[in-house]
Amino acid sequence: MKTKLVLLLLFSMVPINPANAQNSKLNIPYGNAHERQVLDIYAPKNAENLPVVFWIHGGGWQVGDKSDVQIKPKWFNERGLVFVSTNYRLLPHVKMDTLVRDVAKSLGWVHKNVAKHGGDPSRVLVMGHSAGAQLAALLCTDDRYLKAEGVPFNVLKGCVPVDGDTYDLPKIIMTAEFRQMVYGKPLPTFGHRQKFGNDPKKHVDFSAVTHVANNKDIPPFLILHVAGHPDTSAQARRLGEVLKQAEIPVQVFGGRDTTHNQLNEDLGKPNDTATKELRKFLERQLKNNN
Protein backbone atom coordinates (compact mmCIF):
# COMPACT_ATOMS: atom_id res chain seq x y z
CA MET A 1 0.00 0.00 0.00
CA LYS A 2 2.84 2.35 0.87
CA THR A 3 4.57 1.66 -2.45
CA LYS A 4 1.37 2.42 -4.35
CA LEU A 5 1.04 5.77 -2.56
CA VAL A 6 4.58 6.78 -3.46
CA LEU A 7 4.03 5.79 -7.10
CA LEU A 8 0.81 7.79 -7.19
CA LEU A 9 2.66 10.89 -6.02
CA LEU A 10 5.45 10.45 -8.52
CA PHE A 11 3.35 9.70 -11.57
CA SER A 12 0.31 11.92 -11.08
CA MET A 13 1.88 14.63 -8.90
CA VAL A 14 -1.39 14.86 -6.95
CA PRO A 15 -0.85 17.20 -3.94
CA ILE A 16 -0.81 15.58 -0.54
CA ASN A 17 -2.35 17.17 2.53
CA PRO A 18 -0.50 20.48 3.10
CA ALA A 19 -0.83 20.05 6.85
CA ASN A 20 1.51 17.06 6.61
CA ALA A 21 3.69 18.53 3.91
CA GLN A 22 6.83 19.75 5.59
CA ASN A 23 9.49 18.77 8.08
CA SER A 24 12.41 21.21 7.88
CA LYS A 25 15.98 20.91 9.12
CA LEU A 26 17.99 24.10 8.75
CA ASN A 27 21.66 25.08 8.70
CA ILE A 28 23.07 21.59 8.27
CA PRO A 29 26.85 21.81 7.68
CA TYR A 30 28.15 20.19 4.50
CA GLY A 31 31.69 21.45 5.07
CA ASN A 32 33.80 23.02 7.81
CA ALA A 33 35.76 25.68 5.91
CA HIS A 34 33.25 28.52 6.30
CA GLU A 35 29.96 29.39 7.99
CA ARG A 36 28.24 29.57 4.59
CA GLN A 37 28.87 25.88 3.94
CA VAL A 38 25.40 24.96 5.17
CA LEU A 39 22.14 23.77 3.63
CA ASP A 40 18.46 23.42 4.50
CA ILE A 41 16.31 20.33 3.96
CA TYR A 42 12.52 20.41 3.64
CA ALA A 43 10.87 17.01 3.48
CA PRO A 44 7.33 15.68 3.66
CA LYS A 45 6.58 14.07 7.01
CA ASN A 46 7.42 10.37 7.01
CA ALA A 47 9.32 10.83 3.74
CA GLU A 48 11.02 7.74 2.41
CA ASN A 49 13.02 7.30 -0.80
CA LEU A 50 11.56 10.40 -2.48
CA PRO A 51 13.17 12.31 -5.38
CA VAL A 52 15.28 15.30 -4.39
CA VAL A 53 15.32 18.87 -5.69
CA PHE A 54 18.66 20.63 -5.11
CA TRP A 55 18.18 24.42 -5.24
CA ILE A 56 20.96 27.02 -5.81
CA HIS A 57 20.10 30.63 -4.98
CA GLY A 58 21.00 33.64 -7.12
CA GLY A 59 22.49 37.02 -6.29
CA GLY A 60 25.21 37.69 -8.82
CA TRP A 61 27.58 35.26 -7.02
CA GLN A 62 28.04 38.08 -4.45
CA VAL A 63 24.89 38.04 -2.32
CA GLY A 64 21.89 35.81 -1.66
CA ASP A 65 20.85 33.15 0.79
CA LYS A 66 19.42 29.63 0.85
CA SER A 67 16.33 30.96 2.66
CA ASP A 68 15.27 32.81 -0.50
CA VAL A 69 12.97 30.03 -1.67
CA GLN A 70 9.46 31.55 -1.42
CA ILE A 71 6.85 28.74 -1.61
CA LYS A 72 9.07 26.23 -3.42
CA PRO A 73 9.65 23.88 -0.45
CA LYS A 74 5.92 23.59 0.21
CA TRP A 75 5.08 23.14 -3.48
CA PHE A 76 7.63 20.39 -4.01
CA ASN A 77 6.89 18.67 -0.70
CA GLU A 78 3.19 18.56 -1.51
CA ARG A 79 4.11 16.71 -4.69
CA GLY A 80 6.23 14.10 -3.00
CA LEU A 81 9.75 15.52 -3.35
CA VAL A 82 12.42 16.46 -0.82
CA PHE A 83 13.65 20.05 -1.29
CA VAL A 84 17.24 21.07 -0.45
CA SER A 85 18.50 24.66 -0.59
CA THR A 86 22.20 25.41 -0.25
CA ASN A 87 24.45 28.31 0.61
CA TYR A 88 27.96 28.73 -0.75
CA ARG A 89 30.84 31.13 -0.33
CA LEU A 90 30.59 34.32 -2.36
CA LEU A 91 32.65 36.67 -4.50
CA PRO A 92 34.91 38.54 -3.91
CA HIS A 93 35.87 36.57 -0.78
CA VAL A 94 36.67 33.48 -2.85
CA LYS A 95 37.37 32.91 -6.51
CA MET A 96 34.76 31.47 -8.84
CA ASP A 97 36.26 27.98 -8.97
CA THR A 98 36.09 27.75 -5.16
CA LEU A 99 32.49 28.92 -5.26
CA VAL A 100 31.56 26.24 -7.80
CA ARG A 101 33.33 23.56 -5.77
CA ASP A 102 31.33 24.62 -2.70
CA VAL A 103 28.08 23.93 -4.54
CA ALA A 104 29.43 20.60 -5.80
CA LYS A 105 30.52 19.72 -2.26
CA SER A 106 27.02 20.49 -1.02
CA LEU A 107 25.49 18.24 -3.67
CA GLY A 108 28.03 15.59 -2.72
CA TRP A 109 26.87 15.79 0.90
CA VAL A 110 23.26 15.45 -0.28
CA HIS A 111 24.09 12.38 -2.34
CA LYS A 112 25.75 10.73 0.66
CA ASN A 113 23.27 11.76 3.35
CA VAL A 114 19.84 12.60 1.94
CA ALA A 115 18.53 9.06 2.46
CA LYS A 116 18.56 9.80 6.20
CA HIS A 117 16.14 12.65 5.49
CA GLY A 118 13.74 10.70 3.29
CA GLY A 119 15.39 11.39 -0.06
CA ASP A 120 16.54 9.08 -2.83
CA PRO A 121 20.21 9.83 -3.65
CA SER A 122 19.81 8.23 -7.07
CA ARG A 123 17.12 10.72 -8.20
CA VAL A 124 18.24 14.34 -7.99
CA LEU A 125 16.99 17.34 -9.94
CA VAL A 126 19.19 20.45 -9.92
CA MET A 127 17.66 23.92 -10.08
CA GLY A 128 18.87 27.49 -9.64
CA HIS A 129 17.94 31.10 -10.37
CA SER A 130 20.11 33.75 -12.04
CA ALA A 131 23.68 33.12 -10.81
CA GLY A 132 22.32 29.85 -9.45
CA ALA A 133 21.11 29.00 -12.95
CA GLN A 134 24.67 29.26 -14.26
CA LEU A 135 25.91 27.06 -11.42
CA ALA A 136 23.14 24.50 -11.97
CA ALA A 137 23.81 24.30 -15.71
CA LEU A 138 27.57 24.01 -15.17
CA LEU A 139 27.29 21.24 -12.57
CA CYS A 140 24.97 19.31 -14.87
CA THR A 141 27.25 19.54 -17.91
CA ASP A 142 30.83 19.66 -16.57
CA ASP A 143 31.13 16.35 -14.72
CA ARG A 144 34.52 17.13 -13.17
CA TYR A 145 33.05 18.94 -10.17
CA LEU A 146 30.67 16.18 -9.11
CA LYS A 147 33.18 13.42 -9.87
CA ALA A 148 35.51 15.07 -7.36
CA GLU A 149 32.73 14.66 -4.76
CA GLY A 150 31.94 11.06 -5.66
CA VAL A 151 28.64 11.85 -7.35
CA PRO A 152 27.97 9.90 -10.56
CA PHE A 153 26.29 11.91 -13.29
CA ASN A 154 23.58 9.31 -13.75
CA VAL A 155 21.90 10.33 -10.47
CA LEU A 156 20.95 13.65 -12.10
CA LYS A 157 17.44 13.26 -13.46
CA GLY A 158 16.85 16.83 -14.59
CA CYS A 159 18.25 20.36 -14.64
CA VAL A 160 16.12 23.52 -14.46
CA PRO A 161 18.11 26.76 -14.77
CA VAL A 162 15.88 29.80 -14.21
CA ASP A 163 16.67 32.99 -16.15
CA GLY A 164 20.44 32.78 -16.28
CA ASP A 165 22.51 34.94 -18.64
CA THR A 166 25.87 33.18 -18.37
CA TYR A 167 25.65 29.77 -20.03
CA ASP A 168 28.01 31.10 -22.73
CA LEU A 169 30.27 33.62 -21.00
CA PRO A 170 32.29 34.88 -23.98
CA LYS A 171 29.08 35.82 -25.79
CA ILE A 172 27.46 37.65 -22.87
CA ILE A 173 30.71 39.48 -22.06
CA MET A 174 31.03 40.60 -25.67
CA THR A 175 27.37 41.63 -25.80
CA ALA A 176 27.42 43.60 -22.56
CA GLU A 177 30.68 45.40 -23.28
CA PHE A 178 29.69 46.25 -26.86
CA ARG A 179 26.43 47.71 -25.57
CA GLN A 180 28.33 49.91 -23.11
CA MET A 181 30.74 51.15 -25.77
CA VAL A 182 27.99 51.90 -28.28
CA TYR A 183 26.24 54.14 -25.77
CA GLY A 184 29.45 55.72 -24.54
CA LYS A 185 29.22 54.26 -21.07
CA PRO A 186 32.18 53.00 -19.00
CA LEU A 187 32.86 49.30 -18.83
CA PRO A 188 31.95 47.64 -15.52
CA THR A 189 34.78 47.35 -13.04
CA PHE A 190 33.46 44.07 -11.64
CA GLY A 191 31.31 42.61 -14.41
CA HIS A 192 31.22 39.07 -15.74
CA ARG A 193 34.72 39.43 -17.19
CA GLN A 194 36.22 40.10 -13.77
CA LYS A 195 33.96 37.81 -11.76
CA PHE A 196 34.96 34.78 -13.78
CA GLY A 197 38.67 35.45 -13.68
CA ASN A 198 39.40 37.96 -16.45
CA ASP A 199 40.96 35.18 -18.51
CA PRO A 200 39.39 34.07 -21.82
CA LYS A 201 40.23 30.44 -21.11
CA LYS A 202 38.40 30.60 -17.78
CA HIS A 203 35.41 32.23 -19.44
CA VAL A 204 35.17 29.30 -21.84
CA ASP A 205 35.69 26.76 -19.07
CA PHE A 206 32.97 28.23 -16.82
CA SER A 207 30.45 28.14 -19.69
CA ALA A 208 27.99 25.25 -19.61
CA VAL A 209 27.84 25.16 -23.42
CA THR A 210 31.53 24.22 -23.50
CA HIS A 211 30.94 20.93 -21.74
CA VAL A 212 27.80 19.64 -23.45
CA ALA A 213 28.41 16.34 -25.18
CA ASN A 214 26.56 13.12 -25.86
CA ASN A 215 27.21 9.94 -23.84
CA LYS A 216 28.02 11.87 -20.62
CA ASP A 217 24.71 11.15 -18.82
CA ILE A 218 23.85 14.84 -18.97
CA PRO A 219 20.25 15.02 -17.73
CA PRO A 220 17.28 16.51 -19.59
CA PHE A 221 16.94 20.29 -19.27
CA LEU A 222 14.02 22.66 -18.80
CA ILE A 223 15.43 26.16 -19.37
CA LEU A 224 13.15 28.87 -18.02
CA HIS A 225 13.68 32.49 -19.00
CA VAL A 226 11.93 35.85 -19.27
CA ALA A 227 10.67 36.08 -22.84
CA GLY A 228 11.07 39.85 -22.90
CA HIS A 229 14.68 39.93 -21.68
CA PRO A 230 17.11 39.91 -24.63
CA ASP A 231 20.13 38.58 -22.77
CA THR A 232 18.55 35.74 -20.81
CA SER A 233 16.44 34.79 -23.83
CA ALA A 234 19.50 34.63 -26.10
CA GLN A 235 21.48 32.64 -23.56
CA ALA A 236 18.58 30.23 -22.97
CA ARG A 237 18.25 29.60 -26.70
CA ARG A 238 22.02 29.20 -27.04
CA LEU A 239 22.19 26.53 -24.35
CA GLY A 240 19.07 24.88 -25.73
CA GLU A 241 20.56 24.65 -29.22
CA VAL A 242 23.80 23.11 -27.94
CA LEU A 243 21.91 20.53 -25.89
CA LYS A 244 19.68 19.69 -28.83
CA GLN A 245 22.69 19.20 -31.10
CA ALA A 246 24.05 16.72 -28.54
CA GLU A 247 20.68 14.89 -28.59
CA ILE A 248 19.97 15.74 -24.95
CA PRO A 249 16.26 16.30 -24.24
CA VAL A 250 15.65 20.02 -23.71
CA GLN A 251 12.77 22.45 -23.55
CA VAL A 252 13.24 26.23 -23.57
CA PHE A 253 10.30 28.12 -22.11
CA GLY A 254 9.97 31.91 -22.07
CA GLY A 255 7.64 33.38 -19.46
CA ARG A 256 5.66 36.40 -20.65
CA ASP A 257 4.49 39.41 -18.66
CA THR A 258 7.06 38.69 -15.97
CA THR A 259 10.48 39.87 -14.76
CA HIS A 260 13.77 38.31 -13.71
CA ASN A 261 12.77 38.16 -10.04
CA GLN A 262 9.08 37.51 -10.55
CA LEU A 263 9.69 34.45 -12.73
CA ASN A 264 11.54 32.90 -9.80
CA GLU A 265 9.19 34.10 -7.07
CA ASP A 266 6.08 32.84 -8.86
CA LEU A 267 7.27 29.25 -9.19
CA GLY A 268 4.74 27.13 -7.35
CA LYS A 269 1.85 29.56 -7.63
CA PRO A 270 -1.47 28.41 -9.10
CA ASN A 271 -1.96 29.28 -12.77
CA ASP A 272 1.67 30.36 -13.21
CA THR A 273 2.69 29.30 -16.71
CA ALA A 274 6.31 28.48 -15.84
CA THR A 275 5.10 26.35 -12.94
CA LYS A 276 2.86 24.41 -15.31
CA GLU A 277 5.88 23.65 -17.51
CA LEU A 278 7.92 22.69 -14.46
CA ARG A 279 5.20 20.34 -13.27
CA LYS A 280 5.02 18.60 -16.65
CA PHE A 281 8.82 18.32 -16.71
CA LEU A 282 8.87 16.73 -13.26
CA GLU A 283 6.13 14.27 -14.19
CA ARG A 284 8.01 13.27 -17.31
CA GLN A 285 11.40 12.86 -15.65
CA LEU A 286 10.20 11.07 -12.55
CA LYS A 287 8.06 8.72 -14.59
CA ASN A 288 10.98 7.94 -16.90
CA ASN A 289 13.40 7.39 -14.02
CA ASN A 290 11.33 5.63 -11.37
CA distance 158 to 123: 9
Domain 2-168+212-288 has CATH 3.40.50.1820: yes
CA 19 to chain centroid: 27
**Is the Cβ–Cβ distance between 268 and 75 less than 8 Å?**
yes
CA distance 54 to 56: 7
Return the pLDDT at 288.
59
Stretches where the chain sits below pLDDT 50 are: 1-20
CA distance 133 to 153: 18
Return the pLDDT at 132.
98
Q: Which amino acid is at 183?
A: Y
Return the pLDDT at 9.
41
Can you give the pTM of this predicted structure?
0.92
